[in-house]
Chain A
Amino acid sequence: MTRKILVVDDEPDLEVLIQQKFRRKIRKNIFEFYFARNGLEALEKLRVHNDIDMILTDINMPQMDGLTLLEELLKLPVLAKAVVVSAYGDMDNIRTAMNRGAFDFLTKPIDFGDLEVTIDKTLAELQELKKGMQARDALSAIQQEMELAGRLQQSIIPSEYPRRPELSVYGKMVPAKAVGGDFYDFFFIDDDHLGLVIADVSGKGVTAAMFMGVSRTLLRFTALQGLGVDKVLSHVNNLLCVDNEICMFVTVLYGVLNIKTGELSYANGGHNPPVRLRAGSPIEILPRTRGIALGIMDGVAFEPGQAVLEPGDLLYLCTDGMPDAENKANEFFGEERLMAELGNMEEISPEYVVNKTYKIVTDHVASGPQFDDMTQLAIQYQPNE
């Protein structure tokens, strides 16, 4: 690419000298020189050729001097770097020029060897600057993309809760980055059976989000076939194991609640077990049933678990971003504290429990960074209301 250099000097001999000294580079299209006799002419040239890379300017010139030109350059949307040429020892003007954004200076009479070094150095600097700006533009495009992906992700997580008198549901997923690997889901398999999912994909960010999308869709699709909870997980596991070269995995708790009877069956793919909250009783962590995170080993079996929800019981599910939340001193919120807080709720309703727990955990994190996605899902069974 030809680099364009504008030389501003009222001395016509300089033009001849430069054409002569740089004739090889001009012939090879490495450099292309433009000439102006004063600041005003220079600005006109820049208006026409806004891709000029470098300006070499004298200070004392008629109509508009070099220092005024530098001031004008600051107002223009040009990247060009300016180098001033001044009399030897003219420190005042050199300081003024540097303060007005000149990149370097040369003294008269011009040493062409030094000029060539200065041109190369200035152009290299400009190149770096351009690269930096390109990187910044690319980054901002990625950030916009991520923001959109985050919105898409939030939109596939259900935000409409079932309008059924037997049931109240509330969930919250707050990713650590623009997109996350956690999700929750719920859907009716038939009139009486509600499917419930909470899941955590290994890692976070874009890779996790893509695996999350696949896992969520496979799970929902498989669950809607109406298989037993254990069969659903083993089926989805086998599907996720295919071509999983980068060893992504997802921990899943999948449950089906019969909203007529309160019977809950669940299977656990390496996730924390559900917690039952009941007014006036201590919390109960449902038994951990055998199973492993999905996507690692195909053909594994999952053990189904059963529980019966009494009217008013609330089932609480979360990902490890909740207990593993850390404050600035790297202290975990902790499983024990989480269970203690869940056992200490003033009100047992999904929205209250989820929001209250979120507040307590984020209060603990305070000004520390959020390391992991934080996801919760709560379901309350209330057949008599």
Chain B
Amino acid sequence: MSIKHEVLNGIDLTFLSGRIDAQSAPGVNEEIGKIIDEGRNKMLINFKDLEYISSAGLRVLITIAKKLKASSGALALCGLDTKIYEVFDVSGFTAIFKIYDTQEEALAALGD
């Protein structure tokens, strides 16, 4: 699991790669939590290099989404491959998260 973070057009862009499971999920929560605590509230998470996400990982995403919502922010996701999209779809999370195919679409939506 590794996390890369940059700011693009005023939007915090985070790349998650590898596996988010029960072991790595707390680290993701902490890293992204730090960014939100700094008062940043528009966030895009790019999943293009993510291999696997477990339910503990999904829980972290919900925590992040709730945190952003509380600070009137927004969260979008992009770059989900078929298998990861399936995980979101089965659990019903496609209805909760704003999910875009490409980073450009997501950035445009968040920029509005």
The smallest beta-carbon distance between B58 and chain A, in angstroms, is 6
- A269, B59: Cβ atoms closer than 8 Å: no
One digit per residue, 1 when the CB lies within 8 angstroms of any chain A CB and 0 when it does not, for chain B 78-112 equals 00000000000011110110000000000000000
Q: A247-B63, A292-B91, A292-B96 are in contact. Are A371 and B55 (CB under 8 A)?
A: no
**In this complex, which of B54, B55, B91 has the most chain A Cβ atoms within 10 angstroms of its Cβ?**
B55
Name the residue on A nearest B67 (C-beta): A247
How many whole Å from B87's CB to the nearest CB in chain A?
8
From A204, A246, A293, A297, B22 is in contact (CB under 8 Å) with A204
Kindly provide the distance from the CB of A270 to the nearest chain B CB, expressed in whole angstroms. 4
CA distance A3 to B92 in the complex (A): 62
Q: How far is the CB of B32 from chain A (nearest CB, A)?
A: 14
Residues of chain B within 8 A of A203, CB atoms compared: 22, 25, 55-56, 59
A271 interface residue (CB < 8 Å to B): yes
B52 nearest CB across to chain A (Å): 8
Nearest B residue (CB) for A246: B63
- A296 touching B96 by the CB < 8 A rule? yes
Point out the residue from B22, B55, B66, B90 that lies within 8 Å of A205, measured CB to CB: B22
Does A86 have its Cβ within 8 Å of any Cβ on chain B? no
Whether B35 sits at the interface, judged by CB under 8 Å, is: no
Number of residues of chain B lying within 8 A (CB) of chain A = 17
Q: Are A202 and B95 in contact (CB under 8 A)?
A: no
Select which of B55, B66, B96 is within 8 A of A202 by beta carbon: B55
Question: Is A171 among interface residues, defined by CB-CB distance under 8 A?
Answer: no
CB of A292 within 8 A of CB of B66, answer: no
Q: Are A249 and B59 in contact (CB under 8 A)?
A: yes
CA distance A247 to B61 in the complex (A): 9
B7 contacts partner chain A, Cβ-Cβ < 8 Å: no
Nearest CB of chain A from residue B66's CB, rounded to whole Å: 6
Q: Is B21 an interface residue (CB 8 A)?
A: yes
Contact of A292 among B21, B25, B63, B95 (CB under 8 A): B95
A71 to B25, CA, bound (A): 51
In this complex, which of B58, B66, B91 has the most chain A Cβ atoms within 10 angstroms of its Cβ? B91
Within 8 A of B (CB), among A199-220: 200-205
Q: What residues of chain A lie closer than 8 Å to B66, measured between beta carbons?
A: 247
Question: A251 on the interface (CB 8 Å rule)?
Answer: yes
Give which listed residue, B21, B56, B91, B96, contacts A251 with CB less than 8 A.
B91
Residue B3, interface by CB 8 Å: no
Q: Is A291 positioned at the interface, with any CB of B under 8 Å from its CB? A: yes
- Cβ–Cβ contact A270 & B92, under 8 A: yes
User: Nearest CB to that of B91 among chain A residues?
Assistant: A270
Residues from chain A with a CB closer than 8 A to the CB of B58 are 202, 249, 293
Chain B residues in 8 Å Cβ range of A297:
96
In the assembled complex, how far is the CB of residue A182 from the closest CB belonging to chain B, in whole angstroms? 10
Q: Which 3 A-B pairs have the closest CB atoms?
A: A292-B92, A270-B91, A202-B55
Known interface pairs A249-B55, A292-B91; 19 further A-B residue pairs with C-beta atoms within 8 A, sorted by A's residue number? A201-B55, A202-B56, A203-B56, A204-B56, A205-B22, A247-B63, A247-B66, A249-B58, A251-B90, A251-B91, A270-B92, A288-B90, A291-B92, A292-B92, A293-B58, A293-B91, A293-B93, A320-B55, A371-B21
| Sample (8) of A-B pairs whose CB atoms are under 8 Å apart | A200-B55, A203-B55, A248-B59, A270-B91, A292-B92, A293-B58, A371-B21, A371-B54
